[in-house]
Structure 1
Amino acid sequence: MDSILKMTSPEMVPVIVEKLRASFLTGKTRCLEYRKRQLKQLYFLVHENQQAFTDAIYKDLGRPSMETSFGEIITFKNDCLMAIKNLKNWAKDEHVWPGLPFMLHSTYVRKDPKGTVLVLGAWNYPITVQLSPMIGAIAAGNTAVLKPSEISAHTAQLIADLWPKYMDLETTAVVNGAIPQAQALLDERWEHIFYTGNGRVGSIVAEKAAKFLCPVTLELGGKSPVIIDDSANLSIAAHRILWAKSFNTGQTCIAPDYVLVDRKIQDKFIDELLKARRQFGKEFVSRGKDIGRIVSANHWKRIRNLAASSKADLVVGGVNEADEESRFMPLTVFKNVHADDATMGEEIFGPILPIIPIGSIREAVDFVNARDQPLALYMFTENKDVSEYIMKYTRSGAVVRGDMLIHFVIDALPFGGTGPAGFGAYHGQHSFECFSHRRSVVVAPAGGIIGFIVEKIMSMRYPPYTGGKNKFFQLVLSDHAGFGHPREPTKSSTSVDQPIKRVSTYIVP
């Protein structure tokens, strides 16, 4: 990695940050037209170097070019264009009704930039999870530092090489390196930190940010489940799950981590998986060009050890087909997996798919709820009651019914986690809002006839305080919702002597 990546000196980090902070205070990034120009430059940084990015990502991840085009380049460019097109509308003041007592006041919310922000990228999607957050940071008017992941070294160096050719170095910067550089960055004061990665490092980022009471967005991961009931189209489910699990060789934070399938249809589902695997072709199954590689030797060993330690029934793949030299790990499927299997501990983040037979949807929901909230939850069911039951009684960053991964590329939807899967969201307008401060503004009339009238009314708040003044404000300012007296329950209220029953309108198979 040292020969590929040109490391930024940790001693330069405070200098870079101070320069960006000083530049922010000049007001340069407040101009919407300036932000649009920078967003256009960021767009062309990728657009004019698509092949270079495809080649760099292939060197880092062995990823097929179509996956890079479909999963990163197109998505990123669309995100850029959306921000450019909608920035004026996103940034405009949001006027709000202050209520009758303050109807003569002007009240609105400004969308202010937060200041100087830090984006800590991840290695698995070097464009969408590194450059895409920068869209939001720039669109919102911040100055920003991007630290690409050193694990995807070829792509990180490409970004660093291209940055000064396209971007204004007075307002944005790239810092390359590993732990020393990350530590130096986290020792600085920021107005927002955006981190994509695992929970262990996420905890460190949050702890460092807390020193300065700095807000953070954490895009983490977890074991995202798939629930399949007996009403599902098993052929479609198998094709879509197989594609999602093999996309980027399973190295995706929202990849299906395990499948919970009705016990009665487990074997039918597996037959459809094997059929879909054959239809994907020989380039997919035997170290071909349609399936990528594991990012590093250490990560490959971890995934191989998970597969080797499993006590479940092997369906396809396995360690005998793995190759350490090329970091190839075949798509490996296990069935009849138990909850305490090796594959059910940590997030897999690789091409291993455990299949767990379950007896009911309630059992599936209980299984999911016994673990940390996932970043994504997937389901295949044609039963609306089942779908509603799953959504009502589980928690996750997102829910997708009938497909996999696609919520990530829909910019209108916020992308983010909950609980250990992270917090905060981005994509589209949500990226702009992530890096913006909603600043409340009140303009009280203080001159002219309106100011005179308002002052006559508001002067009632000045001493000396009297009972009459107190009654006046209680009458004018109190919100009388008309709920009636609390000791006079309506017919729909529940008596304290009556037990409260849990009522569900959903069918629980």
Structure 2
Amino acid sequence: MPELVIGSMANLGLDRLVKGILVGFLPSQRNHAAYVFIHARLNESFRAGKTKSIEARKEQLVKLAYMIKDNISALQDAIFADLGRPKLESDFLEIHQLLKDVVNAHKSVEKWAKPEKVPFVLDTAAMKPVVRKEPKGVVLIIGAFNYPLWLTIGPLIGAIAAGCATIIKPSELSLTTSSLLTSLVTKYLDPNFVAIVNGGIPETTRLLDLPWGHILYTGGAKVGRIIATAAAKHLTPVTLELGGKNPVVIDPNSDLKLAARRILWGKASNAGQTCVAPDYVLVPEEGQDAFVKELVAVHKEFYPEGPKTSNSYARIISHAHFDRLKGMLDSTKGTIVLGGTDDADREQKFIAPTIVKDVRPDDALMQSEIFGPILSILPVKNLDAAIRYINSNDHPLALYVFSQDPYFKSKVFDNTQSGSAIANDLIIHLGIGGLPFGGVGPSGYGAHREKFSFDMFTHNRSSLDSPGWADLILSARFPPYTDAKAKKLASFGPRTLPFPRPGTARRTSWTKWVVVMGLLSIMSAALIKYRRK
């Protein structure tokens, strides 16, 4: 994509410069003023209230829905050009979910944005305390290449529903999709609501120099730390979706064929370039070969003529990412039982779904997130050893268990931490309504999707309206302070605590039991005496 070279801002004009940025030109370092201009324009729109009314939000959501619906074929083609991803995968993993989410947001936005009444308390009910749902302002969404629609348009749905103005910075690696999105957003959506800026690291760095109501970043932990540090200069709240090494724990008594089928699908979809894809499998030592056998059989079912000629398998995003993955395979000490580098093709950016068994914790495949179609199998002695290994590493974005044993599943989930905890399937939890998408610790913080996206871009503003006669109740708060006023104010707190003092629970419980039994005895005696009369 060509660079827009600027001689001087006066000669070109900001409007033309901004148009150049919006249609996908990568601006030079001299064009920082253009970002300031776009940011200021959206701030002006926000302060003027153009994004805040429910009617305006719903209108933009309708336009966004038709932007997707009218251009499904073009979006499929763009993603294929960037990632070689099959159209069915794009439909299932991104497009259908986006349409469902925007329809739900349009239906729910009025309810979501309605002031929330607090629980009734007699002392303060007359003050009408509520939580106002207010947009945070101009927000920034920094997308990622692996899901160039879902990770930009998905959170945009929440930002529009929240009443925010938004700048989207799509990934520079998925150039075809980013260019198409730029064209579609500027065609369908109100520029008072949304602007889109393209570029790489220098452009993102300059965007981070500006103050934002909120920043959402999806990508790696290294850049995530840079984003968080830059945001701290302006005390900007941030949501980070960072990924990590997602483990799968296999119960030896589980259905290995089912597990293999779903795990290989989760690893091979989008050529493994999914932040919640399985990274490695922890399987009992004695069950490793049986599980690998099932994986090989499923692979043959998925790709009967091989994945290289299949129309059901994607490609790696770039040559640099291809080289990184090939380097891992060249360095592994594990046993490659399927795939590998034999038919890897740098020109086509093709690496086959690869299974590596007998992988040890110090292997090259275990030092960082794979983010590709390589699945490591780590044999472990037992479940306790699997849990210890998971806990010795950073908290993953997703943790998977395959088991029909409730105790087995509970033991894994109760003794680990992860962004999500999924049993007997993979990845599809991202498409289930009502579930948040987010990490914990090194895999990120904050969450979004559907209502959670609305909440992310919404400020919960405390509000009340206190009547003049409230001082009849609260007059004791005013000086001069007296013992009588202190006694009156003390009545606003509990006279006694509704739970026993530590160490006295059994005695208190026994005392209450004796009292209850005594009262029942008295009542019984009185009833008997009454009947005798």
Q: TM-score, normalised by structure 1?
A: 0.93
Query: For residues 485 and 408 of structure 1, what CA distance do their matches in structure 2 show?
Result: 45
Whether the aligned pair in 2 keeps the contact of 1:98 and 1:105 (CA below 8 Å) is no
Match of 2:125 in 1: 103
Q: Which amino acid aligns with 1:7?
A: L
- Report % sequence identity: 43
Please tell me whether the aligned partners of residues 192 and 435 of structure 1 are also in contact (alpha carbons under 8 angstroms): yes
CA displacement 1:422-461 (0-9 Å, x = unmatched):
0111111111111001111122122xxxx2xx22221122
Match for residue 6 of structure 1 among 25, 43, 49: 25
Alpha-carbon deviation of 1:162? 1.3
CA contact (8 A) 1:101 1:477 kept: no
- How far the C-alpha of 1:489 sits from its partner, in A, is 5.6
Q: In the alignment, what sits opposite 1:465?
A: 481
Cα distance change of structure 1 residues 27 and 350 upon mapping to structure 2, 3 Å threshold: same
| Corresponding residue for residue 306 of structure 1 | 328
Q: Alignment partner of 2:51: what SS?
A: helix
Aligned partner of 2:491 in structure 1 is 475
Which residue identity is paired with 2:314?
G
3-state SS, counterpart of residue 43 of structure 2? helix
- The whole-number CA distance in structure 1 between the counterparts of 2:291 and 2:259 is 8
Q: What SS does structure 2 have at the residue aligned with 1:29?
A: coil
Unpaired segments of 5 or more residues in structure 2? 4-22, 510-533
1:190 is matched with 212
* Contact 1:199/1:420, CA 8 A, preserved across alignment: yes
Count of residues paired in the alignment? 487
The AA in structure 2 aligned to 1:6 is: F
Residue in structure 1 matched with residue 174 of structure 2 by the alignment: 152
In 2, Cα distance between equivalents of 1:27 and 1:164:
20
Give 1:104-503 correspondences, 5 Å limit: 104-282=126-304, 284-446=306-468, 451=469, 454-478=470-494, 480-485=496-501, 488=504, 490-491=506-507
| 1:28-55 Cα deviation digits (max 9, x unpaired) | 1111011011011111111111111111
Give the counterpart letter for 1:31 in structure 2.
Answer: S
Once residues 96 and 121 of structure 2 are traced to their aligned partners in structure 1, the CA distance between those partners, rounded to angstroms, is: 45
- What's the CA shift for 1:486? 5.7
| Distance in 2 between residues matched to 1:92 and 1:294, nearest whole Å | 44
SS at match of 1:42: helix
What is the one-letter code of the residue matched to 1:270?
A: V
Indicate how the Cα distance of structure 1 residues 393 and 131 shifts in structure 2: closer, same or farther if over 3 A, else same.
same
What is aligned with 1:506? none
Larger radius of gyration: 2
The question of whether the paired residues in 2 share the 8 Å contact of 1:198 and 1:220 is answered with: yes
CA gap of 1:75–1:485, structure 2 versus 1, over 3 A, is closer
C-alpha distance in 2, partners of 1:461/1:180? 55
Q: Unaligned regions of 5+ residues in structure 1, if any?
A: 494-509
Which amino acid counterpart does residue 132 of structure 1 have in structure 2?
G
Q: Per-residue CA shift, 1:71-108, capped at 9, x if unaligned?
A: 11101111111100111111111101253322322111
Say what the alpha-carbon RMSD is for the aligned residues: 1.6
Contact 1:43/1:77, CA 8 A, preserved across alignment? yes
Q: Contact conserved, 1:287 with 1:330, CA < 8 A, in 2? A: no
TM-score, normalized by length of structure 2?
A: 0.89
Q: Secondary structure at the match of 1:100?
A: coil
Contact 2:130 2:462 in 1 (8 A): yes
